[in-house]
Amino acid sequence: MGITTLFQKFNNSDHDLYLTYLLSLMPKDLTFEETMHKCKKAFVDETSPFTRRYKCLNLDTRESGDIHKYTGIVNRMTNAFSIVAICFS
């Protein structure tokens, strides 16, 4: 899998994060393995899905909103962030 294939798996926010961490470096200065190592450090979260969901729920509890609906949103967003970990594992 090359760098081009890797870029195709990124959404806009992932690509922006990649640019922040690696754009300042010259492409000829990095091998594919070094690029993958830096991407893993930037994108892969080592915490468990339960811990991520708990942290997300504690960020903002909407007093006027339905907690079940809010929990569903948090679960969907946590799963979306977990996809990045699958790409790099």
For each of the chain's 89 residues, which pLDDT tens digit applies?
Answer: 566 666 666 676 666 666 666 655 666 777 778 877 777 776 666 777 777 777 766 666 555 567 677 777 777 776 666 655 555 55
Task: Kindly report the backbone phi and psi dihedral angles of residue 61, in degrees, each rounded to the nearest multiple of 5, phi listed first.
Answer: -105, 115
Domain residue ranges of the chain, discontinuous segments joined by +: 1-43, 46-89
Residue type, 7: F
Three-class DSSP labels, the chain: CCHHHHHHCCCHHHHHHHHHHHCCCCHHHCCHHHHHHHHHHHHCCCCCHHHHHHHHHHHCCCCCCCHHHHHHHHHHHHHHHHHHHHHCC
pTM, two decimals, is 0.33
